[in-house]
Amino acid sequence: MTNTLDRILKEIKPLDTKATAAARQRQDNLTKPRGSLGRLEELSIQLAGITGQMLPSLEHKAIVTMAADHGVVAEGVTLYPQEVTRQMVFNFLGGGAAINVLAKHIGARVIVVDMGVVGGFESLPGLVCKMIDFGTKNMAQEPAMTRQQAIDALQAGIGIVSSEKNNGLNIIGTGDMGLGNTTASSAIFAAISGYSPSQTTGHGTGIDDRQLAHKVKVIEKALATNQPNPKDPIDVLSKVGGFEIGGLAGVMLAGAAHKIPVVIDGFVSGAAALIATAICPQTRDYLIASHVSAEAGHALMLNFLELKPLLNLNMRLGEGTGAALGISLAEAAVKLLSHMATFNEAGVSDIETPEEKGA
C-alpha cells in the first residue's frame, strides 16, 4: 500500500447510526402506512447513515466516467475495433452520448477521465488525464498491468474524488468506457468469487454464442496464465483487470472515506466494487446498486456483493447510464424524507397502539 491509499482506508468508518435511527423514526412518522414506500424508504435511511445527516442534501451530483483500453481485445473478444474507446471519449466530451443526456436529465455533471486510452489525447476541455499507460497488456498472455500500476489506478480514482469535492459533491455515479472491459470484469469476478468463467461471462457488446464460447476460453487462459490470488484484490486487479476498473474502485473507496454515497452502474462498475470491497469490506455500505444489467453474470455478481439493485431495465450500455437513473431515485428518496409532512405536522391521525385503544 502507499500513503494515499493507506490514509483513505483508515478514514472509512461504519455508517452513522444516530442519523440512520433519526431517519428511520421520521420515515415511520410520515403521512403514509409504514413501509409503504418500500425501497425508497430503505434508500433514504441508508443515505442518512452514509452522510451523517438525517435529511441529506444531494444537490451536487456527478457521474465519473472512466475510459481505458484493454490488450485482451487482440484475442477477438468484442465486436468493435479498439479505436471505438477513443472515439467515444470524444463523444462524451461533445455531449452526444447516452450518459450526457441522462446526466443532464438529473442535473449531474459528467467527469470524463482518461485512465489509459490507446493513442492518448492532447489537452482537451472537460477531459481529466489520469493515464496509467496506453491500455493494459493482453491478459491472456501476461499480467494486464504491474502491481504498481494497479495501485496507481486506485490512487487516481481517489484523487478524482478529492479534487471534485472542491466543486461540491454530494453523490457520485460510476461509469466506464473501454473495449474489452467486460472480459476483464468477468475475469475479476471469477478470480474473486470462485465461480467459473462460464458463469461470470456474458455477450458484452453483442457477440454470438460461438464468440461467447471463445471469450470464456480466453478468460480461462488468462486465469490459468496469471494465477491471480483471490485473497489479494490488488493482485487480481493487476493480473486480469483494467485501469478504469481500478480507477472506479478508487472512487468507491474515496467516496466511503468522505461519506459520499456512490451509485454504481452495471457489470464493469460491479467488478470495481468487487475490488473495492475486497480491499475494505466496510465500503459496501456506501454503495448503491443502480440496476441489474442484461449482462450475464451481473445478477450473480450483485448477489455475491450483497447489493440489491434498484432497477431492472434490461440495460447493458455502461457509461454510467444506470447510475444516473439510480441517482434520480436517490434524490427522490431524500426529497420524500425531507418534504413529506409527519402525521403530527399534517394533523392526520396515526395508527392507534393497543394501549391507545384501551386494550
Residue type, 113: V
Residue 28: all three cell numbers together: 415511520
- The Cα–Cα gap between 184 and 197 comes to 11
For residue 107, report the phi and psi dihedrals to the nearest 5 degrees: 75, 35
- The Cα–Cα gap between 164 and 161 comes to 5
- The Cα–Cα gap between 217 and 222 comes to 9
Whole-Å CA distances, 140 to 21, 30, 71, 77, 158: 49, 56, 9, 11, 29
- The Cα–Cα gap between 334 and 310 comes to 15
**What percent of the chain is helix, strand and coil (3-state, nearest 5)?**
55, 10, 35
Q: Do residues 290 and 331 make contact, with C-beta atoms less than 8 angstroms apart?
A: no
For residue 276, report the phi and psi dihedrals to the nearest 5 degrees: -60, -45
Q: Which of 41, 244, 319, 331 is catalytic?
A: 319
Asked about 319 being catalytic, the answer comes back as: yes
- Which residues participate in catalysis according to the annotation? 319
